[in-house]
A and B are shown apart, each in its own frame.
Chain A
Amino acid sequence: MKFDVAIIGGGVVGLAILRRLALGGVSAVLLEKGADILSGASKGNSALLHTGFDAPPGSLELACMRAGYAEYLEIRERLNLPLVVTGGLVVAWNDAEAAQLPAILAQAHRNGVTDAVKLDPATLYSREPHLAPGALGAVLVPGEHVIDAWSAPLAYALQALAHGASIRRGCEVLGGERRGDVWMLATSQGELRVPVVINGAGLYGDRVEGIARTPPFSIRPRKGQFVVFDKTAWPLVNAIVLPVPTERTKGVLVCRTAYGNVLAGPTAEEVDEREAPTVDQAALEALVQKARALVPALAGHGVNAVYAGLRPATESKEYRIEALADRGWITVAGIRSTGLTGSLGIASHVAALYARDFGSLRETSAPIWTPVPNLCETRERPWQAADPGEIVCHCEMVTRHEIDAALSGPLPAGDLGGLKRRTRCMMGRCQGFYCSWRVTQLASGRLADLPAEPLPA
């Protein structure tokens, strides 16, 4: 098969680009080293759809976020993507923070988020009755919403596949060489000839960039840890409750999740890890404390799950997106902390760079829509519909049909993590105490990392 473009990296950014190019009639292949898509930064984040109210004014990041936000809302129903309408509240807890609210509001307005308003404490508490006492006021950003981290990238992948794109998983790009006007990419699945390469390698963005040039940036992973409270906590929080940010971090937020839980996090820690970020008991305990300080009633609710994600940060805040016209290369790196939101906007921007420097786009007039299964608790889940059949995961109420579907189709789950991300099985309060055996049985022989050795009879 001959491809016009190879995208390195199956995170949300690479997948959104794959979709955009496929819809533009470009023959593209995506190469992902993990056993499944979303093996890097995109597998664990806060899952917020940001308005860009606090992004640097005039930045490419802001432009991509605004465009990504708008396109997500435009396409989400046809792809069956969730939207939990929450709004965001930047809450001030002391005089110094209260003094910053006007500037936060002004920046929001400057960034085009014109519906942001300031709330006095009485209005704040009428919206968030469970918030700890003592807040001095807040900025309400009505357009900040909760989505989920996995449905959208999966939908982008499926739509790209429907339009003829290819995805190769377990395919690591090891190196490459420019010969004339083509790249010879060395991968763990053999050599690939392709005229244009897009670096969407996330946490390995600098290493992959080294194929094309001495990387002008380095990735400095910044870890974010989270705790997920039980579903019983859902009524305690309405909006995304954010602190007034500091120079270094946006701070710890508390919000609902699309899966019906309450989330607290993330931390912001410079780390050397690029893979399998570790959680740390002290940090997790601090998050639980922090969340219970913000919402005291959380004290009566347990923690179901914990996780950590890595932001592919670089030396600077701005996205590193650039086309090397003479080298057949597009760099899409440093998509640090807004990539879920920004990905569709980034994809359009990258498609424009491609059209400018490398080839033409023929936008399809009849897109094929590939709705994904609904994982979101605010809409009907399969178990609630007629004839749900067997329920396998009792905590998250995942049906056997959902698990079977996730193990088949054009992009079946590649590993257990991928199956969990497609269905939520084993992700609830018991973490697989009840259902891991049944999941193992149903997925037997189909996932890379499941125990497969049968017991001797």
Chain B
Amino acid sequence: MSTHEVIIVGGGPAGLAAATELRRLGIRDVVVLEREQQAGGVPRHCGHPGFGWREFRRILSGPAYAERLVASAAGVPVRTGTTVTAIEPGGVVQTVTPKGRETLRAARVLLATGTRETPRSAQLVSGTRPSGVFNTGSLQQLVYLAKVKPCTRAVVVGSELVAFSSLLTLRHAGIRAVALLEESDTVLAPGPARLAASVLFGTQVITSARVLAVQGSPRVTGVEIEHPGGREIIACDGVVFSGRFVPEAAILRTSHLQVDPRSGGPVVDQYARTTDSLFFAAGNLLRPVEASWTAWTEGRAAARAIAASLRGNLPEAQHHTHLEARGAIRWISPQRLAHPAPLPVALPLNLRVTHPLRGRLRVMAGTTELWSERRRLLPERRVLLPLSAEQATSVAEAVIDVADPVAL
């Protein structure tokens, strides 16, 4: 069994940033395991700009950004074509490489396996099951990696930021984006997204629209939708189900580590430690999706915590404050604060709400309010919660909710 100081599972922005930082901090024996043939993660197939400004002071396309990340990690062995199939107590990592199965072990393991979108099937959408149904991720890979034009007229379902990535990808491939459908009554992406969609892409944006059925066989011929104006069938030969991200937590779910059913990611503390302190986690595996900059930042911060822990500067937690999301709070991550807390935090407390609302975001320990602030909160936006471990030192359990909520 080959052993290492640190094994990083996943060579996306989080994993590669961590590798680079560990090396900078003088941790010599680090290896990145990446199941694809190329490292870089999701940006490999985001062929549009929108990456790298904060990390490299340049506006880069996804693939260029992925290359920069790989170049930055030079010196750290990145084993591509290596799939991690299981993680086990004791820092054990089961892998399969092109030559066969291999068991590895490390003093510390960083999990950085990212997120993916929810497929149509798991959303239980009615209709036929033809080809021509995509996620943004699969559409991008068909267009930018396989370099094919998988359809000619597409409907995009969802209006999170990633839907605009779909629109850009469709345009690049010369595919007409006929409509963008959103179930709620507003576009979820920030900024003047609605306007951008219609002006830049000539795409009809329909809010409060529900997909009733996918039609056609063996290829998509249309989607039937329902909206305040009634029912209609939009003719198309491609449907992109965008967004609704879930952590790619397959190896977590079959492991000894605790998974948070709300975020879908591992239960971690502010030092990115999971419920087994040999295993750390960073990036979009922690919770559904953030921009690459955030994943990158988390990877670096987790690397610093790992280095500290290897050098004996990050003591085992003696007790935790467990944070519970309630009401309009969809999830919170980290889910617990470790005490003692001698180092700066690696992961800030961040959360998401279920729907647009106004109210007092607060942290309660029993009937005592630890922190609160009036906020206007929108879904699919990162909300930071400035609660420090010191503020909760003697608290075993704290509840996060929104008092006096008013839906917007």
Given known contacts A232-B253, A232-B254, A388-B98, is B121 in contact with A305 (CB within 8 Å)?
yes
Q: Are the C-beta atoms of A279 and B98 separated by less than 8 Å?
A: no
A391's nearest neighbour on chain B, judged by CB, is B83
- By a CB distance below 8 angstroms, the chain A residues around B117 are 433
Q: Which of B99, B120, B148 contacts A453 (CB 8 A)?
A: B148
A437-B146, A451-B151 given as contacts; is B217 within 8 A of A275 (CB)? yes
Instruction: From B35, B124, B137, give the contact of A284 (CB < 8 A).
Output: B124
Which residues of B have CB within 8 Å of A103? none
Chain B residues closer than 8 Å to A437, beta-carbon distance: 45, 138, 141-142, 145-146
Whether A367 is near chain B, meaning CB under 8 Å from some CB there, is no
B146→A441 contact, CB < 8 A: yes
Given contacts A453-B148, A455-B143, contact A433 B138 (CB under 8 A): yes
Q: Is A79 an interface residue (CB 8 A)?
A: no
Q: How far is the CB of B150 from chain A (nearest CB, A)?
A: 4
- B122, A438: Cβ atoms closer than 8 Å: no
Is A390 close to B, CB under 8 A?
yes
- For chains A and B in complex, what number of residue pairs have CB atoms within 8 angstroms? 139
B174 at the interface (CB under 8 A from A): yes
From B116, which residue of chain A is reached at the shortest CB distance? Answer: A433
Cβ A440 vs Cβ B121 within 8 A: no
A321 / chain B contacts, CB cutoff of 8 Å: none
CA distance A307 to B148 in the complex (A): 27
Q: List the one stretch of B55-63, B125-133, B179-187, B310-318 in contact with chain A.
A: B125-133
- With an 8 Å Cβ cutoff, the count of chain A residues facing the other chain is 57
B100, closest chain A residue (CB): A386
Residue contact B146 to A431, C-beta cutoff 8 Å: no
Give complex CA distance A415, B217 in Å.
Answer: 13
Residue of B nearest to A416 (CB): B131
Contacts of A397 in B (CB 8 A): 83, 85, 96
What residues on B are CB-neighbors of A433 within 8 Å? 116-117, 119, 135, 137-138
B219, CB-defined interface residue at 8 Å = yes
Q: Are A281 and B261 in contact (CB under 8 A)?
A: no
A285 within 8 A of B: yes
Closest residue of chain B to A442 (Cβ to Cβ) is B146
Residues of B near A184 (CB, < 8 A) are none
Query: Quick check: B250 and A281 within 8 Å, CB to CB?
Result: no
A178 at interface by CB-CB < 8 Å:
no
Which residues on the B side are within 8 Å of A451 (C-beta)? 142, 148-151
Shortest C-beta distance, A387 to chain B (Å), equals: 6
Q: Are A278 and B128 within 8 A (Cβ)?
A: yes
How far does the alpha carbon of A452 sit from the alpha carbon of B149 in the complex, in Å? 7
User: Complex formed: what's the CA distance from A230 to B119 in Å?
Assistant: 13
Shortest beta-carbon distance from B13 to chain A in Å: 17
* Interface segment, one of A152-160, A247-255, A296-304: A296-304
Query: Of all chain B residues, which has the CB nearest A432?
Result: B138
Q: Are B146 and A438 in contact, CB atoms less than 8 angstroms apart?
A: yes
Residue-wise, chain A 412-451 has the 8 Å CB interface mask toward B (1 for contact) of 0001110000000000011111101110110010000111
Smallest CB–CB gap between A275 and chain B, Å? Answer: 7
Q: Is the pair B119, A456 in contact by a Cβ cutoff of 8 Å?
A: no
A394 with B127, Cβ < 8 A, contacts A275-B217, A304-B122, A451-B151 known: no
18 A-B pairs in the complex with CB atoms less than 8 angstroms apart = A232-B254, A276-B217, A278-B213, A306-B129, A386-B99, A388-B98, A390-B37, A390-B81, A430-B116, A430-B119, A431-B119, A433-B138, A436-B138, A438-B141, A450-B131, A451-B148, A455-B143, A456-B174
10 residue pairs, one from A and one from B, having the closest CB atoms: A276-B217, A437-B141, A431-B119, A451-B150, A437-B146, A284-B124, A281-B126, A453-B149, A433-B116, A436-B138
13 new A-B contacts, CB < 8 A, other than A281-B126, A385-B100, A432-B138, are A278-B128, A288-B124, A302-B246, A303-B124, A383-B96, A391-B35, A397-B85, A434-B116, A438-B145, A441-B145, A444-B148, A451-B150, A453-B148
Chain B residues near A (Cβ < 8 Å): 35, 37, 45, 81, 83, 85, 96, 98-101, 116-117, 119-122, 124-131, 134-135, 137-138, 141-143, 145-151, 173-174, 213, 217-219, 246, 248, 250, 253-254, 261
